[in-house]
Amino acid sequence: MDPQKFFRITRGGRVEKVLSGITAAETAGLRPIKLNSVVVRGFNEDDVVPLAALTLERPWEVRFIEMMPFGSVGDFAEAGVVKSQEIQAAIEAALGPLEPLDLSGGEPARTFRLPGASGTVGLISPVSQPFCAKCGRLRLTADGRLRLCLLRDDEADLLTPLRRGATYDEIKEIFRTAAYRRPFGHALAEKMFPQARVMIQIGG
Ligand code: SF4
């Protein structure tokens, strides 16, 4: 919400352009509009309340995500994590109680609404309240690998067999075998952080 801070964190981005893009998306009728922000101690925890306050007027879902540790930045991420409980307490102290909404489905966010708000607030808590038990996601990376869990390094290579001319059934079998060996969740509690890639190399 602070133009200078946004410029620094994004290395050159202009927050006014982003906000006008979001408003344009709303005017064009795109739904739902979800804004994800990763809260990092010492960087942007002051922006939690102004971001949540956007939902009072706008029909957006503003979601706060706990930072996840990856490889060489694992220690930094652990030190910087702001847990959802703290985020919720800050919002409630400033803007009133967050009423939980029952939006069951495959969404990782727990969803709330501030009193009288048009939009909603989401809390995504992979560190403090993991939601792995209901996660069925596989991610396809830009270099053609199937990542079985965001926070594990295990991947299945699809690109090499595709380039070799693998048939549809062969690719299907690789996909199926990989899906069966999906882990049951991350291992952050055992201090096992993914090492091979960081978030921008996976795609979130
Ligand atoms: S299983 Fe992996 S990808 Fe799914 S929620 Fe847990 S950590 Fe995230």
Residues within 6 Å of ligand 1 by CB: 126, 130-132, 135, 137, 149-151, 185-186
pLDDT tens-digit map of 6-24: 999 889 999 999 999 999 9
- Tally of CB atoms within 10 A around 93: 9
Can you give the pTM of this predicted structure?
0.84
Q: How far apart are the first and last CA of the chain?
A: 22
- DSSP letter, residue 157: E
Helices (H), strands (E): how many in the chain? 8, 8
**What is residue 11's DSSP assignment?**
T
Distance 187 CA to ligand 1 centre (A): 10
CB-based burial label for 135 (10 Å; 0-12, 13-18, 19+): middle
Instruction: Give whole-number Cα distances, 131 to 36, 71, 115, in Å.
Output: 17, 21, 26
Which is the closest atom of ligand 1 to the Cα of 183?
A: 1
Q: Is-contact 121 155, C-beta < 8 A?
A: no
And the tokens for 69? 């540790």
Q: Which two tokens stand for residue 145?
A: 């690998």
Which pLDDT does position 147 carry in this prediction?
Answer: 94
Residue nearest to atom 7 of ligand 1 (CA): 186
Identify whether 161 is preceded by a cis peptide bond (ω within 30 of 0): no
Tell me which residue has its CA closest to atom 2 in ligand 1.
Answer: 149
Share of the chain above pLDDT 70, in %: 98
What distance in angstroms lies between residue 132's CA and the mean position of ligand 1's atoms? 5
Least trusted range by pLDDT, from 121-125, 158-162, 177-181, 184-188: 184-188
Sort 58 into a burial class: Cβ within 10 Å, 0-12 / 13-18 / 19+: middle
| pLDDT tens per residue across span 48-89 | 999 999 999 999 999 999 988 887 777 777 788 899 999 999
Domain ranges of the chain: 34-129, 134-202
On average, the pLDDT of the chain sits at: 91
CA distance 202 to 137: 13
Q: State yes or no: pLDDT of 103 exceeds 70.
A: no
